[in-house]
Structure 1
Amino acid sequence: MRQTIMGACAALLLATPSLGDGFYTVDVDADFEDIVFNVEMAIENQGLVIDDVSYVGQMLDRTKEDVGGEKDLFTDARIFSFCSASLSREVMEAKLRNIQFCPYNVYVYQAAEEGAPVVVGYREFNEPSMRSINYLLQQIVAEAAGD
Structure 2
Amino acid sequence: MSIVRLAFLSTLALLLLLPATQAQEMILETEDRRIYTVEGEYAFYRDMLESAITGEGLVINAVGNIATMLERTGADLGGENLYLQGESLEFCSAVYSRRMMEADPHSIVFCPYVIAIYELATEPDTIHIGYQRVPIVGDEASRKALQDVEDLLDRIANNAMAF
Task: Please indicate the TM-score interval, normalised by the length of the shorter structure.
Answer: 0.7 to 0.9
User: Do 2:40 and 2:125's aligned partners in 1 also have CA atoms closer than 8 Å?
Assistant: no
Query: What are structure 2's unaligned runs of at least 5 residues?
Result: 1-25, 138-142
Number of aligned residue pairs: give it. Answer: 130
Q: What's the offset of the Cα at 1:116?
A: 5.5
Distance 1:20 1:48 in 2: 26
Q: Corresponding residue for 1:110?
A: 119
User: Do 2:101 and 2:108's aligned partners in 1 also have CA atoms closer than 8 Å?
Assistant: yes
Distance 1:92 1:114 in 2: 39
What is the correspondence of 1:13-52 to structure 2 with a 5 Å cutoff? 19-52=29-62
CA RMSD of aligned residues (A): 1.5
Larger Rg: 2
SS of residue in 1 equivalent to 2:99: helix
Query: Which amino acid is the alignment partner of residue 97 of structure 2?
Result: S
Runs (4+) off by over 6 Å: none
Distance 1:42 1:92 in 2: 24
Q: Corresponding residue for 2:156?
A: 140
Distance 1:60 1:103 in 2: 23
Q: What's the offset of the Cα at 1:94?
A: 1.1
User: Do 2:41 and 2:125's aligned partners in 1 also have CA atoms closer than 8 Å?
Assistant: no
Question: TM-score of the superposition, structure 1-length normalised?
Answer: 0.83
1:65 and 2:81 are equivalent in the alignment: no
User: Which gives a bigger RCO, structure 1 or 2 (Cα 8 Å, sep 6+)?
Assistant: 1
Residue from 122, 127, 130 that aligns with 2:131: 122
Query: Which amino acid is the alignment partner of residue 35 of structure 1?
Result: Y
SS of residue in 2 equivalent to 1:113: coil
